[in-house]
Structure 1
Amino acid sequence: MTPARPTAEASDARLAEALAPLRADPARTAILLDIDGTLAPIVRYADDAHVPETTRSLLIEIARRYGYVACVSGRRSSDARRIVSIGTISYIGSHGTELLRAGGIEPVLDPAVRDWGRRIQAFGRDADNAELRRLRVRIEDKGSIVAFHWRGAPDEEAARAAIDTIAGRAEQSGLRTHWGRKVLEVRPPVRMDKGAGILSFLEHAELDAALYVGDDVTDLDAFRALGEMLAEGRVRHALRVCVASEEGPSELAEEADLVVDGTDGVRHLLERLLADDPAT
C-alpha cells in the first residue's frame, strides 16, 4: 500500500479498505498501539499524560473483540497500564524489554537488560545536577532506561545543549542513546526496541493480520517488525499507521501504509475497527 495522507473526504473509504483484512477474523488479529502521541495527547509533563475516556472506552471494546491487543511504550509497563487504565490488554514496556500480559500482576523483564538497571539509574543520579534543575530538564526513571525531557523548558535551546553533553558522556561510558520528541533516552548497550518486544509478544500467536499505530521514531522498529512477520509468512496482512503531528518524523510517514491526523485520527480508526459498516 502506498503511504499517503488521506483527505477528510476520502479517509473513511481508505480506512474501510485498509481495515477490511483485520476485521475479517478479529480473533486472529493483533491490535498494537503506541501510547504517547497516539492514544494520549502529548503534554508538557510526561506524568500528566492520560488517555481520553472516549478512546479508553473504544479500547475496552477492542479488547473484547480482537484476539491480541497490546499497548507498546517506552515507559515502564506498569506506568503504561496506569495511563491507559485497562487491565484486559497487555503492555509491552521499556521499549520492548518488559511484558505485562493482560490480567497479570508483575511484568516480565528481559534478562538481557535486568543487570543494567542499577548502572543506568546511577548514571541518571550523577547527571541530576544544579544546572539541569536550573534549566528545568526533567529526568524520568524508566527502570532500565533514564530519560531527559526538555519539552517546556524556559530556554529549550540551552536545555538541549546540556542534554547533548549528557549524551556524549553516556556514549563515552559505553551506554546507548536514543533521541525522541524533545527527549533523550540513555539505555543499556543491548537490543531494546518496540519491534523486538512485539515479536516476542506474538511469538506463539496464531495470526492472520496485525496493526501497529505510532507517532515517533521509536515506532519505526515496530513497523519493521510487522514487515518481518509479513515477509516470513507469520501474518498475511500487516497495516502500519503513522499518526501525523507537527513534530513527527518524516521517515515514519514514509514507511507507513496509512497516515491519520493526531490522536483524533487514531480514535476514528478505532471506531472504524468496531463499526458494523466501517465506511459509515
Structure 2
Amino acid sequence: MSSHLLTSSTSDGKEGLAAFLANPERAVVALDFDGTLAPIVPDPESARAHPGAVPALARLAPHLGAVAVITGRPAGVAVRYGGFAGVPGLERLVVLGHYGAERWDAVSGEVKSAGDHSGVDAVRAELPGFLDRIGAWRGTWIEDKGRAVAVHTRRTENPEAAFEALRDPLNELAASHGLIVEPGRLVLELRPPGMDKGVALAAYLREADAGSVLYAGDDLGDLAAFGAVERLRGEGLPGVLVCSGTASGEVPPELVARSDLVVDGPQGVVDLLNALADALG
C-alpha cells in the first residue's frame, strides 16, 4: 500500500500520525458511516459498506486500542448495513448510533438506547401534512430514523434549491417541538438536542483512555467531531482529521479545509486503513 497515504499536509496531522504509529495500542480510529465507509446512494436504505471496508478494519483493529463507527443512523441499522457483526478482528468494535444516543458493542451484540423523545414522535406525525402545506418540492421524502426524522431532497428536480427552501421552515418546526435540525448532504434531520458526533466522540475517547485519535468523515455532521478533535489537540491529545471527499463535489469545503488528509471517498478510506495496517505490520 502506498506510503503517501500516511503523509499529512499539516503539522497537527504529522504529529497525530507519528503518535498513532508509535503507540498504536492506545490509538483510536473513529469513522462516520455514510460517505466514509459506505458510498452515498440515492436511497439510504440501499447503502452498504464498501466491499473493502470490513476487511481493512479487521486487519487494522487488532493493532489498536479501539475502533468506533459514529453515525446518525440507528446503531442496529449501521451494524446490519456495514456487515460488522461476528467478524474476526472486530470483536471490540463499537457503533455509536443516533449521534451517540444508541450504542452497539460487538462483545455483547446488543444495542443500548437512551430512550425516545416526545418531540420526535410529534414531528413524525406532523411532518407529512407540514411539507404539503408549505409546498415542498415534488420528490421530497421523509426517512424515519427512530430517534430522528430526516427530510431528503436528493430526488427533487433541483435538490439544492429544495434543500435551501426547507431550511427555515424545518428549523421552526423542530424548535416548536424541542428539537434541532442537523443538515447533511441534501438532507435535513430533525432530532433531539444535546448529542452530536463531537459529544459522542469525546466521551468515547475518555472511556477508551485514548493516546491518539484518527477521525474520518465527509459531511456537515462531522464538523462537530472535527471540532472535538481540534479541542482535544489543544489539550495535548494528538489527532488526525481525515476527509472522505475528493470523489464528490458535495463535500463541504469547510471539512476539506480543516482536514489533515483528504482521501478519495470510501475507496480512499479503505486504502488509508490498509496503509495503516501495513505500517503496523
Q: TM-score range by the shorter chain?
A: 0.7 to 0.9
Residues 138, 213 of structure 1: alpha-carbon distance in 2 compared, 3 angstrom cutoff: same
Inter-partner Cα distance in structure 2 for 1:125 and 1:239: 41
Structure 1 unaligned segments of length 5 or more: list them.
1-8
Task: Tell me how far apart the structure 1 counterparts of residues 160 and 18 of structure 2 sit (CA, whole Å).
Answer: 45
Alpha-carbon spacing, 1:169–1:102, altered in 2? closer, same or farther (3 Å): same
Query: How many Å apart are 1:263 and its aligned residue?
Result: 1.6
Quote how far apart the aligned CAs of 1:62 are: 2.0
Q: What is the identity, as a one-letter code, of the residue corresponding to 1:171? A: A
1:83-232 to 2 correspondences below 5 Å: 83-87=81-85, 88=91, 89-110=93-114, 114-116=115-117, 118-129=118-129, 131=132, 135-154=138-157, 156=159, 159-160=162-163, 161=165, 164-188=168-192, 190-232=193-235
Give 4+ residue runs of structure 1 displaced > 4 Å after superposition: 15-18
Number of residues of Structure 1 aligned to a counterpart in Structure 2: 263
Whether the aligned pair in 1 keeps the contact of 2:21 and 2:280 (CA below 8 Å) is no
1:272–1:19 Cα change, 3 Å: farther
Distance in structure 1 (CA, Å) of the matches to 2:175 and 2:21: 45
Give the TM-score, by structure 1 length: 0.83
**Cα RMSD, aligned residues only:** 2.7
CA distances 1:103-139 after superposition (whole Å, capped 9, x unpaired): 23333334xxx351x3313312221248489823222
50, 61, 76: which is aligned to 1:52? 50
Cα gap change, 1:181 to 1:158, in 2 (>3 Å): closer
Q: What's the % identity of the aligned pairs? A: 35
Distance 1:149 1:196 in 2: 25
Match of 1:14 in 2: 7
> Is the alpha carbon distance of 1:28 and 1:140 closer, same or farther for their aligned partners in structure 2, counting shifts above 3 Å?
same
Opposite residue 262 of structure 1, the aligned amino acid is: G
Distance 2:244 2:189 in 1: 21
CA displacement 1:41-87 (0-9 Å, x = unmatched): 10000000001222221112222222200111011111111111113
| 2:272 is the alignment partner of 1:272 | no
Distance 1:12 1:156 in 2: 33
TM-score of the pair, normalised by structure 2: 0.83
User: CA contact under 8 A between 2:119 and 2:177: conserved in structure 1?
Assistant: no
C-alpha contact 1:135 1:158 (8 A) present in aligned 2:
no
CA spacing shift, 1:174–1:86, aligned 2, 3 Å: closer
User: How far did 1:262 drift?
Assistant: 1.5
Distance 2:273 2:113 in 1: 29
What stretches of structure 2 of length at least 5 have no aligned partner? 86-90
CA gap 1:65/1:175 in 2 versus in 1, 3 angstroms? same
SS of structure 1 residue aligned to 2:68: strand
Distance (Å, rounded) in 2 between the aligned partners of 1:39 and 1:53: 9
CA distance, structure 2, for counterparts of residue 82 and residue 216 of structure 1: 21
Q: Matches of 1:21 and 1:152 in 2, distance apart?
A: 44
Tell me: CA distance 1:85–1:277, structure 2 relative to 1, closer, same or farther (3 Å). Answer: closer
DSSP-derived class of the 2:7 partner: helix
Taking the aligned partners of 1:12 and 1:157, their CA distance within structure 2 comes to: 32
SS at match of 1:92: strand
Q: Partners of 2:223 and 2:53 in 1: how far apart?
A: 23
Distance 1:13 1:147, change over 3 A: closer
Aligned pair in 2 of structure 1 residues 121, 213: CA closer, same or farther (>3 Å)? Answer: same
Residue 45 (structure 2) pairs with residue 42 (structure 1): no
Deviations 1:124-177 (A, max 9, x none): 222124848982322222222111111123453674335653343223444211
